Amino acid sequence: MLTGIAFVGVLGVVAGAARPRRSVGMSDFHVAARAVPPWWNGAAISSEFTSAAACLGTAGLIAAHGSPMLWYPAGAAAGFVLVLALVVAPLRRSGTYTLPDFAEWRLGSARLRGFTTCFVLVIGLVLLVAQLHAAGAVVRLLTGLPPWLGWAAVAAAALGVAFAGELGSVTSVQAAQFWLKLVVFLGVGAACWWASGGRPPAGGAAWFEGAYRTGGAELAGAGDPSLPGVLAVLLACALGTVGLPHVIVRVYTCSDGSGARRAIVATQVMLAAFCVVPPLYGVLGHVHVRGAAADEMMLLLPARLLPGVVGEALTGLLAAGAFAAFLATTGGVLAAVGGAVSACVSRGGARGGARSFRAAVAAVMVAALAVTAATTPGASVPLMLLGFSLSAATFCPMLVLAIWWPRLTDAGVAAGIALGGGVTAALVVAEQAGVWTGALTSCPAPVAVPAAFAGMIMISLVTPGRTPRGVGSMMGRMHLPEHLAGPPAHRSSHHEGRSSHEHSPYGDDY
């Protein structure tokens, strides 16, 4: 098992280091020279989205609660439909590098850039801690070694990939690891299904129907099988996907808006294939590994069904696939958050930007390790859903309104992000403290997201004087096809100054 884990880590670092370096400027460094093919980009997005923390945990929730948990993967599918319809092409055409870059370029405020960077960091840390805790649980379960060795293994491999190159290195590793995960998880799952004789869950329909009457919702609504709880989680997953920093940054690695759209379509196809994995292991786990912890159930299956050398070998393969997933998601989040942080502080060229990027990545990982050490290990899905809820209540409203509503102001965005993030934090803390319980507190997206949208709209309407100059040209740049809008202008509002806002055919009052 340790051999498989070590193999995945070393392979990831070697694959990242072997990628030819193309970085000749800050834009090339942060967005992989904007030359990633759509299908390869789709594999990378799918890889970092199908984290082991979510995969292991979702399979465990399906085993424990039945059919309501089958809806969880549907939230991601709905989210990518929204990304494809509302965000991907206009965001790519903006020519910015990161979410904070886009915020400053579109709203004309350097302070807003710093404010949004703070929220990118918070969401990134939540997602990183989920991966590190899950990695520690896998190491403890399979080897009996202390969990911090799992944290260290994932952190070292992710830092090695990031230091080896830039976003292009991370992309290469993630795309390759997606296919490794898919083959391993489906192959081991098929072997376990064959060994079980393909028996249906004990109790059949009673298991699925009875799941609606069970309770025990956790942080961010994970495991709440009630209809309001499931719908709240679906909303958080769908809208959270729109604003996840490590997913949105992939938009910028494509050559144009059309390529970005094709990458999202490829992502949807690949995720559809991967969505077979959690239900497969969940059904088997309900029959053969009852009572196991959510993150451990999937890894216990091979040894239960195929005792001996074969079971151990299959468990080792699952461990390798899980660590490939840990590395893929950790590397993606680390590159996105590190890039956003470094772009805020670096004023140098490509060499200074590279140093700043690596320093930011190292600092973010150290912070994630510190938070992991200071928190109690628990199931990974609740932490992932908390990250989605924060994203849904902050960056999703900002992106949708900034792309489609020209009257948005920096004051409106700041107010909406603060309101959405604050409501999310307050409701989750209240639920955890037992002050107020229920589906809307354990998974607060249905309350926080409308509050964020309302805050952004109302404050923007009362601060019309803060509407940025040249908003018409910016809207035209985002919504006109590249051949009509003129040559692409790859810009970072921090490094290259305020871009000259080319005049839009729609005029400034678009």
User: What HEC string does 418-432 produce?
Assistant: HHHHHHHHHHHHHHH
pLDDT at 509: 39
Cα 110 from Cα 113, distance rounded (Å): 5
pTM: 0.85
Please tell me what DSSP assigns to residue 478.
Answer: H
Burial class from Cβ neighbours inside 10 Å (0-12, 13-18, 19+) for residue 166 reads buried
Please report the sign of the dihedral spanned by the C-alpha atoms of residue 124, residue 440, residue 72, residue 78.
negative
pLDDT given for residue 454 in this prediction: 97
B/e letters for 447-463, b = 16+ CB within 10 Å, e = fewer, are bbbebbbebbbebbeee
Query: Element (H or E) spanning 332, and its range?
Result: helix 309-345
pLDDT of 417 reads 97
Distances (CA, A) of 205 to 67, 210, 212, 284, 411: 10, 8, 12, 15, 52
CA distance 294 to 275: 17
Contact criterion met (CB below 8 Å) for 184 and 5: no
What confidence score (pLDDT) does residue 287 get?
83
pLDDT of residue 437: 60
| Distance in angstroms (rounded) separating the CA atoms of residues 379 and 203 | 26
Tell me whether residue 393 is exposed, middle or buried, using C-beta atoms within 10 angstroms of its C-beta: 0 to 12, 13 to 18, 19 or more.
buried
The answer for residues whose C-beta is within 8 angstroms of residue 413's C-beta and 6 or more apart is 103, 107, 112, 116, 398, 401, 402, 456, 460
Q: What does the H/E/C string look like for 235-246?
A: HHHHHHHHHCHH
Q: CB–CB of 392/240 below 8 Å?
A: yes
**Looking at residue 190, what is its pLDDT?**
92
Residue 198 burial (CB count, 10 A)? 9
pLDDT value at residue 296? 83
Round to whole Å and give the CA distance between 405 and 409. Answer: 10
Report the alpha-carbon distance of residue 466 to residue 108 in Å, rounded: 9
pLDDT of the residue at 413? 97
The topology under which CATH files domain 2-377 is Sodium/glucose cotransporter (1.20.1730)
Residues of the chain with pLDDT under 70: 1-35, 53, 165-169, 198-223, 346-353, 379, 436-442, 482-510
In this prediction, residue 134 carries a pLDDT of: 87
Q: What is the pLDDT of residue 507?
A: 40
All structural domains of the chain with their residue ranges: 2-377
Distance of CA 380 to the CA centre of its chain: 13
For residue 210, the model assigns a pLDDT of 44
Tokens of 197: 């004789």
CB 169 within 8 A of CB 335: no
pLDDT at 165: 58
Query: What local confidence, expressed as pLDDT, does residue 415 receive?
Result: 97
Q: Tell me the two tokens of residue 239.
A: 């809208």
